[in-house]
Structure 1
Amino acid sequence: MTRPESTREPGPASRRPEEAVRWLEAVTDTALGRLSLEELLSELLVRVRSILGVDTAAILLREGEELVARVAKGLEEEVEAGVRIPIGRGFAGLVASEKRPIFIEDVDHSQVLNPILREKGVRSLLGVPLLFEGGVIGVLHVGTRRRRQFDRQDAQLLQVVADRIALGIEYERLYREAEETSRLKDEFLATISHELRTPLTPILVWVSQLRQRTFDPAHAARALDAIERSARMQARLVDDLLDVSRIIGGKLRLDLRPTELAWVIEAAIEAVRPAAAARDIRIETKLEPRVDVIRGDPERLQQVVWNLLSNAIKFTPEGGRVDVTLQRVDAHLELTVSDTGRGVAPGFLPHLFERFRQADASTTRAHGGLGLGLAIVRHITELHGGTVQAESEGEGKGTTFRVRFPRGVAIRGASEQERAPRGETFARAAPAPLGGLRLLVVDDEPDTCDVLEAVLRGAGAEVRACRSAAEAFAQLEIWWPDVLLCDIAMPGEDGYSLMRRIRAAQGRYGRALGAVALTARTRAEDREKALSAGFQLHVPKPIDGDDLLAVLARVARVAAS
């Protein structure tokens, strides 16, 4: 029911300019909280036509170097036709490039690119830029069919609307980004929960079965293989998470030294060959001989190759092929890993190297993983001054990764003494006998102490274990070992403090002591702190038993020499 005319609130056209501005600000602030962007823009155009008494109103939003018609009143054909105006050309393009209001009193005597304006009989125009933080995100313009000379007051009112529109657009963008971030976070947390829990299932089930039943040697070996495989899978997931944490914090560091890329590639191929053989996937290599030695981190470079190969094997069907090449290309050394696998959809290709992004994150996906491997590949490659790119003609057509390192960082003619120590860097350690060695193990975790004692005694060493730094220091007073194997994070006194106390008191014992920090603290600064405290080596947990024996044997030899 319409109220009597005498009690109606005055319409916007009857308000003074200052009142109209305040009224419009109040209306738009309220609308921002309750309308979608499309509804907000449409509502504002209705109101601005009423305030300014104009026949047409339109909003064009920026896409690259063009303005695209998004919403219009009286010019709906602009939106339907998808009108595009280059920035810097025509009426709207000039408003955008000059970032200021522009008036046109007579369209017939001006450069107006949009033919629809003339078709609709628009005679006069006023346009203002949509600005956010100094950048142009679009243009708002109004028009009349009768000739009209717009003034500064009209421009002021229209700019108020433009500012609110820009705010609404940015509000929606931030809202959508927040929604997408929240969705990706939820997907990632669900994925990480799944991926970390999955390896635990065979470990727990097989351990339970081994306790309850006696298996024949073949079944027992199968159980142990499954337990080892699952444990290594979980360790790899944790390593990837830690690497990404270092990348985000800018703390991933390289240990640069002369490195043969061909050897790095061969070592990575040997590491993945069993997985490829299990699925009848051939790995073909073509490594150009005498490729330059470069200055790089061999372990991180091997991680790059391993991740690319593992990715290729994962997405290649049984009986497929993975090709690996290394060659000189212009001023670069180029590593190429190609597969005959499922390929990548064009829409996902730009996101391939983003953290936590997966082409299929659904519960029905065929392949596991956290979506971190390729992000790590890109970061390590870029730290070496290189680039990585992916190519795929589409799903079902395979994928090719190209990693390029500038030859400017290559070291030509490096002597054999300068080259990366192959055996120590990459080769899987052979079991080392520790007969006759005295080893002191210090770790506050009982299970860790027990398993270390068992492994070391099995290798022939004389072992004593302590659960705290204080107990270890007291043990040293009556029993001096050849090597100390010590945890870092322990209650009361940590491994750093214990090591400093031991080094300070070592002189009175008259015997050398080798020391290895075996710790879950794996950052570069943790390694530096361990070495500064007096440890000869910093070894991250977890470590393979055979590798540990090799490390201890080497440290014992160095300490005795």
Structure 2
Amino acid sequence: MSILTEKQPDEATAQRLYAMMDRQVTHMVRLIDDLMEVSRITRGKIELRLAPISLDRVVRDAAELSKPLLAAGRHELELDLPPMPCTVQGDGVRLTQVFANLLNNAAKFTPPQGRIVVSLRSDGRTARVQVRDSGVGIPPAMLGSVFDMFVQISDTSRVAQGGLGIGLTLVRSLVELHGGRVTASSPGVNEGTTMMVELPLVSDEAQQVTADTLAAHRRAGQGHRVLVVDDNRDAADSLAELLGLMGASTSVAYGVDEALAAMEACPPTIAFVDIGMPVRDGYELAGLVRADSALADTVLVALTGWGQATDRERIMAAGFDHHLIKPADLEQLTELLRDPPLKRRSGTPLALGGHETACLHAIWP
């Protein structure tokens, strides 16, 4: 920065200096993030969101994340994945991080126009993912220590474009948190490297339970016309999509005026309403809905980040029937939507038929 303030270089030189500073700051932020991740893991501060996930989908997502680095090195990437999914109990975000780190590592330690192959196999109990590259390889004496903190292979810093040797430590920590293990093998220097991740498969019985659970979730919304009201378009669209997968017919509105127009055109059986919207908020919408006899049977659910006892009291006093905290929990949504039929606090049961059915087909997608 002192060069820019004291020397006052020309515009072209200044742009080069700014670009260099940006690269250095980005690199430093990435290193600090990695160090903080390792620190959180070693102190037990990482909480995995475990669920049955398809490992081949995770590998594809990781490959997508690593595309820029692979493209920069003009590497050929081959995905050798089985036709049938391999299901593991894991945190999809963290496992994607594992394989993206391994792909990035392979790309960094492989000279331009190299080849990287990712293969997935299972034996019924264990899923094994290999990330094999044609890069600089690992000396036999270092195979046992490459996953240790700050370990770097000598004479590879130029090829790898810097780094503190944290990425593989993260990989090992996250894999072990999933009950798995990761190992490295290499024939030697300039002979390439193979990283092997082994993870326990979900049993057939557990997969059947999961399938039955998902089927119950999918049936929960059947018979409901749902309107999602939120000025955050991403939040509104994603919740509507989730409710649609649960069997509901859904639509969205991104503000109070738009919601009122949709309700007047075709009253929903249930509306999920954000509270903190600009200009006109969820409280105002609830008041207007409760003043309209045509919407008397519409169940109003406040979906908000406000969760204090005083917030709940105000929400219920405004005319809402239920109060959920963002982000919406699948189990809570299922419990809210499933039988016995959802009712207003007044006890009036929801009905679907006649004019309402025609309205559903005419208005809702």
Q: Does 1:536 align with 2:332?
A: no
Q: Does 1:333 align with 2:127?
A: yes
Q: CA deviation at 1:237?
A: 2.8
RMSD: 4.7
Task: Report the counterpart of residue 374 of structure 1 in structure 2.
Answer: 168
1:405–1:501 CA distance, 2 compared to 1 (3 A): same
Aligned positions of 1:130-141 closer than 5 A: none
What SS does the corresponding residue of 1:254 show, helix, strand or coil?
A: coil
1:500 to 287, 295, 308: 308
The letter of the residue matching 1:333 is A
What SS does the corresponding residue of 1:405 show, helix, strand or coil?
A: strand
1:504–1:418 CA distance, 2 compared to 1 (3 A): closer
Q: Does 1:284 align with 2:92?
A: no
Deviations 1:477-529 (A, max 9, x none): x976569xxxxxxxxxxxxx9863762563387287xx9xxxxxxxxxxxxxx
Q: CA deviation at 1:254?
A: 1.3
Range with greater deviation from structure 2 (354-363 or 283-292)? 354-363
Task: Report the counterpart of residue 50 of structure 2 in structure 1.
Answer: 256
Q: Any conservation in 1 of the 2:116–2:133 contact (CA below 8 Å)? A: yes
Deviations 1:406-446 (A, max 9, x none): 23557445539749xxxxxxxxxxxx9858x9xxxxxxxxx
Q: Does 1:245 align with 2:245?
A: no
Give the unaligned 5+ runs of structure 2.
Answer: 216-229, 236-253, 256-275, 284-304, 329-365
* Bigger relative contact order, structure 1 or 2 (CA pairs below 8 A, ≥6 apart): 2
Q: Any conservation in 2 of the 1:291–1:328 contact (CA below 8 Å)? A: no
The letter of the residue matching 2:102 is L
What percent of counterpart residues are identical? 32
The letter of the residue matching 2:41 is I
Task: Report the counterpart of residue 353 of structure 1 in structure 2.
Answer: 147
1:508–1:402 CA distance, 2 compared to 1 (3 A): closer
The letter of the residue matching 1:404 is E
> 2: CA distance between counterparts of 1:377 and 1:258?
20
What SS does the corresponding residue of 1:389 show, helix, strand or coil?
A: strand
1:303–1:499 CA distance, 2 compared to 1 (3 A): same
Task: Report the counterpart of residue 265 of structure 1 in structure 2.
Answer: 59
> 1: CA distance between counterparts of 2:99 and 2:136?
20
1:358–1:537 CA distance, 2 compared to 1 (3 A): farther
Q: Any conservation in 1 of the 2:125–2:203 contact (CA below 8 Å)? A: no
Task: Report the counterpart of residue 510 of structure 1 in structure 2.
Answer: 318
The letter of the residue matching 1:396 is N
Q: Any conservation in 2 of the 1:288–1:327 contact (CA below 8 Å)? A: yes
1:509–1:229 CA distance, 2 compared to 1 (3 A): farther
Q: CA deviation at 1:374?
A: 1.0
Q: Any conservation in 2 of the 1:340–1:399 contact (CA below 8 Å)? A: yes
1:507–1:306 CA distance, 2 compared to 1 (3 A): same
The letter of the residue matching 2:211 is S
What SS does the corresponding residue of 1:277 show, helix, strand or coil?
A: helix
Q: Any conservation in 1 of the 2:78–2:118 contact (CA below 8 Å)? A: yes
Aligned positions of 1:12-27 closer than 5 A: none
Q: CA deviation at 1:239?
A: 3.0
The letter of the residue matching 2:39 is S
Q: Any conservation in 1 of the 2:88–2:200 contact (CA below 8 Å)? A: no
> 2: CA distance between counterparts of 1:228 and 1:255?
34
Aligned positions of 1:191-230 closer than 5 A: none
1:224–1:281 CA distance, 2 compared to 1 (3 A): farther
What SS does the corresponding residue of 1:244 show, helix, strand or coil?
A: helix
Task: Report the counterpart of residue 455 of structure 1 in structure 2.
Answer: none
Q: Does 1:274 align with 2:68?
A: yes
What SS does the corresponding residue of 2:139 show, helix, strand or coil?
A: coil
Q: Any conservation in 1 of the 2:128–2:199 contact (CA below 8 Å)? A: yes
Q: CA deviation at 1:331?
A: 3.3
Give the unaligned 5+ runs of structure 1.
Answer: 1-200, 215-219, 420-431, 438-459, 462-475, 484-496, 516-533, 539-561
Question: TM-score, normalised to structure 2's length?
Answer: 0.54
> 1: CA distance between counterparts of 2:79 and 2:49?
27
> 2: CA distance between counterparts of 1:304 and 1:296?
12
> 2: CA distance between counterparts of 1:536 and 1:235?
29
1:408–1:318 CA distance, 2 compared to 1 (3 A): same
The letter of the residue matching 2:308 is R
Deviations 1:450-471 (A, max 9, x none): xxxxxxxxxx99xxxxxxxxxx
Task: Report the counterpart of residue 242 of structure 2 in structure 1.
Answer: none
> 2: CA distance between counterparts of 1:232 and 1:262?
30
> 2: CA distance between counterparts of 1:326 and 1:318?
25
2:211 to 410, 415, 418: 415
Q: CA deviation at 1:353?
A: 0.9
Q: Any conservation in 2 of the 1:292–1:412 contact (CA below 8 Å)? A: no
> 2: CA distance between counterparts of 1:385 and 1:360?
31
Deviations 1:192-223 (A, max 9, x none): xxxxxxxxx8xx98xxx9xx969xxxxx9x99
What SS does the corresponding residue of 2:140 show, helix, strand or coil?
A: coil
- Paired residue total: 244
> 1: CA distance between counterparts of 2:83 and 2:20?
39
1:372–1:278 CA distance, 2 compared to 1 (3 A): same
1:511–1:273 CA distance, 2 compared to 1 (3 A): farther
1:482–1:378 CA distance, 2 compared to 1 (3 A): farther
Q: Any conservation in 1 of the 2:87–2:201 contact (CA below 8 Å)? A: no
Question: TM-score, normalised to structure 1's length?
Answer: 0.37
> 1: CA distance between counterparts of 2:140 and 2:167?
20
The letter of the residue matching 2:188 is G
Deviations 1:124-182 (A, max 9, x none): xxxxxxxxxxxxxxxxxxxxxxxxxxxxxxxxxxxxxxxxxxxxxxxxxxxxxxxxxxx
2:113 to 313, 316, 319: 319
Aligned positions of 1:11-160 closer than 5 A: none
Q: Does 1:344 align with 2:152?
A: no
> 2: CA distance between counterparts of 1:480 and 1:433?
10
Q: Any conservation in 2 of the 1:291–1:327 contact (CA below 8 Å)? A: no
What SS does the corresponding residue of 1:324 show, helix, strand or coil?
A: strand
Q: CA deviation at 1:238?
A: 3.3
> 2: CA distance between counterparts of 1:265 and 1:286?
10
Q: Any conservation in 2 of the 1:258–1:418 contact (CA below 8 Å)? A: no
Task: Report the counterpart of residue 488 of structure 1 in structure 2.
Answer: none
Q: CA deviation at 1:394?
A: 1.2
Task: Report the counterpart of residue 175 of structure 1 in structure 2.
Answer: none
Deviations 1:235-255 (A, max 9, x none): 543332222112221232211
What SS does the corresponding residue of 2:52 show, helix, strand or coil?
A: strand
